[in-house]
Structure 1
């Protein structure tokens, strides 16, 4: 949603840049349009904002999105298939501080798995997730693991292919992300991982398709999403593990809450990447259930959780990312005075 005012990978909480548009209207010939009509402003999607802002900073006259040309000189958006349909656009610098977390990112209910393979998470991140294990065992995964530049290219190509298959008018966004990832050839794996996490924190088709593939163990997506999932997880190799307590608010059905009650003392996993926050107050904003997640210090494992607030486009969310497939133990399920369920788990 937001482009950081200073740098796309080193965000400051204070200020962010947003771009907005008004809906297309039919403009009669020789009509002077006005930006003062009463229609509401709509925020561009996260990656679209990055695309527009980059063109703006480079003093370009215009920039193309999937369905529109953005005229940066006259601050207009024009339909590519009908130039009579136009609308105003505007750029705003706003406070980066937030009072609540993004609902889709921090309050969706992750799928709880059956009994975890082991009672804790040891070893490297790529041994925890069946999807990533399958990719690494494939010929494409072995090739990418042995030759890192081929992993970068496979990641870029996969993003473009997924955008085409997703059919959500995201091709320009995918091309932009692929271009940035390809520019990382010759850089360290940690830098590439940071960029992939930065894009993952955006609200885009990429977040949805990756986590869906991980949750459903969709092996048909190995070629397109395996490299991306691997590069996000590979951040753990150079990151310092976050140890402490994080939170996630969710709206759970009664049957789902009963699942957790029946599993007290057991070890489970969430198969997809899971966003949590260090800020309890913001996490409590959504849902009827609050997960209180204690992350313990485990010297026998690679980092299992990492603070990505300095990489995220939304640093004020204080996000700590749980890797796909990390194991947790369900400690207790209670209700507080406000009748909100509190589920205590330990990693």
Structure 2
């Protein structure tokens, strides 16, 4: 799981625009709940994602790392193309999951990828960086879209909700913004993907703020099975996760702020 975050702004008031811009640029659906992503569209996104990572990796002096990740995307693209010939609903879902598993594995690696994508997506809503954000739609956009787009199949499990945890290093100013949002009772949104853990003890090791987050199980993906760090019990919240602040208290015992967030649809 990434190190504690230290963003310029902790959340958005509105839904983020980056993935919408990706959907327009590549002419793919805006919402996984309303539309299917066609096989041809997924293949194009895999190809563009591989190309985009190489382009961005070169700029950062991480060409070999980027080329390795691109090869992983090309491999799963080839498997996807082959399996299209098995045209059943079951195989269609399996193909989609294979793509997601590869993307999730790449995202959870200790590399430039998760750092750059999240730093970029947290700029959403800041007009000063709008041009930079839009310039990355062709390169980082396809990968971010594939990571976001996992076919929603509700788990056959007793739990429909889940509590996850995340620590962050926040300035006094940003903590105050959360407190004000809590007092006003308004919704807020995380614009980027948010790494959390099922394990409170793992999360609490870092930062001066502990987020305790109640989510619908469909709003996050447990990636521990395909992560480089399975012991972290990582759950990735979807980009655009919208929440309400239930409480915001300082815990003198742990010397941390404890912020209880709740999925706005619960």
TM-score clears 0.5: yes
TM-score range, shorter chain: 0.7 to 0.9
Q: Which has the larger radius of gyration?
A: 1
Q: Which residue of 3, 6, 19 maps to 1:132?
A: 19
Size of the aligned set, in residue pairs, is 225
Aligned to 1:176: 68
Q: Deviations over 1:287-339 (max 9, x none)?
A: 22111111146xxxxx2111111121111001111111110111111112323
CA contact (8 A) 1:249 1:287 kept: yes
* Matching of residues 49-128 of structure 1 within 5 Å: 102=1, 105-110=2-7, 111-116=9-14
Secondary structure in 2 matching 1:249? strand
Using the size of structure 2 for normalisation, the TM-score is 0.78
**Do the aligned partners of residues 246 and 109 (structure 1) sit closer, same or farther apart at CA in structure 2, a change above 3 Å counting?**
farther
Matched, 1:308 2:195: no
Secondary structure in 2 matching 1:147? helix
Structure 2 unaligned spans of 5+: 30-36, 81-94, 125-132
Secondary structure in 2 matching 1:345? strand
Structure 1 unaligned spans of 5+: 1-101, 118-128, 298-302
Deviation at 1:164, TM superposition (A): 1.0
Q: C-alpha root-mean-square deviation of aligned residues, in Å? A: 2.2
Aligned to 2:44: 150
Q: Deviations over 1:187-226 (max 9, x none)?
A: 2122111101101001111112211221123010010011
Matched, 1:228 2:140: no
Matched, 1:319 2:234: yes
Q: Deviations over 1:27-86 (max 9, x none)?
A: xxxxxxxxxxxxxxxxxxxxxxxxxxxxxxxxxxxxxxxxxxxxxxxxxxxxxxxxxxxx
**Do the aligned partners of residues 238 and 223 (structure 1) sit closer, same or farther apart at CA in structure 2, a change above 3 Å counting?**
farther
Deviation at 1:158, TM superposition (A): 0.6
Secondary structure in 2 matching 1:197? helix
Deviation at 1:142, TM superposition (A): 3.7
CA contact (8 A) 1:116 1:327 kept: no
Deviation at 1:253, TM superposition (A): 1.1
CA contact (8 A) 2:96 2:151 kept: no
Distance 1:308 1:114 in 2: 25
Q: Which residue of 289, 309, 321 maps to 2:209?
A: 289
Aligned to 1:346: 262
Matched, 1:258 2:176: yes
